[in-house]
Amino acid sequence: MKILGIESSCDETSAAVVDGKNRVRSNAVTSSLRYHKRYGGIIPEIAFRMQLETVAAVAGCALEEAGVAVGDIDGIAVTKGPGLLGSLLVGISFAKALSLSRRLPLAGVNHLYSHIYACFLNKPLPRMPVMALVVSGGHTSLFHCKDFSHISLVGSTRDDAAGEAFDKVAKILGLGYPGGPVIEKTARKGDPRRISFSCSNTKHPFDFSFSGIKTAVLYYVQKNPGWSSTRKDRQLIADICAGFQHAVLSCLVEKSIAACRAKKIYSLAVGGGVAANSLLREMFASRATEEGIELYFPPREFCMDNAAMVAGMGHWLLSRGCADDLTLDAAPTERG
């Protein structure tokens, strides 16, 4: 069974083909990111207009790369949410049109669950249950996965997502957008012990809070005027990045490990854009080894938004008879 996946929840437009052996046959991705950069964040209208223009061509590329014709496809999977409403509607409308015209089964896929599935593409599926951390620009959530259709929320951020905190701190420091990759790079030259930041406590032990640490960075910078011009100040920026990054990543690692211990789960999957961070991977690897937990990360190309994870998750659903009909609607704010 070959599934065509479509992902258009934010700035990316992506289409991919995954086959019956859980192998990614193609994954075409285009992004409107460069048009948003000057605004310091995603502008929904720019995103969905570009998606409307490109979705058919991107799907064509995915089929061509996979070496299959549209007639060889056995089902369509599409992101139904959470995400930007206009962007989701572009992908869903395209998928519905294809499903209707080719009489193909359709599966609406939860974006966060597909970020979890990304950890298991191109390999055998794990033994369940799995604890999963989805950590991206819009979400920071811990899930208990009995299997891929029985997923329940264990904890989530009470305010900013971790990726959002990286993006906002990069903006405060004048480092550009998106913040994650540039903070990771800048932090490599910094000393994480020089300036100590910490994440706020939460009432529930498996929830997260990152808005306080972002404000702490802002206050720190405001108290150090003129930090951007001299060489010494460049070192200060690197030290701020290192201190901030270490605090955020430690919180993600320690809460995820604590949730595994509390629920007696020995498999941990980490997906989403922030999972591309090398230090996060190292910190998780060292703690997981200490705790005897098996760790799953997606390859970096499947950390950011992509349709391969949607096609993979769609394959899992459709092969178990979980299809949607043409009333499938976008769920922009759905959580968990």
Distance of CA 294 to the CA centre of its chain: 20
Burial class (CB in 10 A: 0-12, 13-18, 19+), 156: buried
Nearer to Zn ion, 136 or 141 (CB): 136
CB of 103 to ligand KG4, least distance (A): 32
**Nearest 5 degrees, angle CA 304-CA 307-CA 309?**
75
- Which residues are 141's β-sheet partners? 134, 156
Half-sphere exposure of 281 (CA within 13 A, CB side): 16
x-or-dash string of contact with ligand KG4, 4-43, rule CB under 6 A = ------x---------------------------------
Paired tokens of 291: 């705790």
x-or-dash string of contact with ligand KG4, 270-289, rule CB under 6 A = --xxx-xx------------
CB of 172 to ligand KG4, least distance (A): 14
Nearer to Zn ion, 305 or 324 (CB): 305
x-or-dash string of contact with ligand KG4, 152-191, rule CB under 6 A = -----------xx-xx----------xxxx--x-------
Q: Which of 133, 141, 134, 144 minimizes the C-alpha distance to 158?
A: 141
CA distance linking residue 204 with residue 225, whole number of Å? 37
Residue type, 211: S
* Interacting residues toward Zn ion by CB under 5 A: 136, 305
**Nearest 5 degrees, angle CA 261-CA 265-CA 266?**
100
Nearer to Zn ion, 167 or 305 (CB): 305
CB of 134 to ligand KG4, least distance (A): 8
Give me the residues that bind ligand KG4 (CB under 6 A), please: 10, 136-138, 163-164, 166-167, 178-181, 184, 272-274, 276-277, 304-305
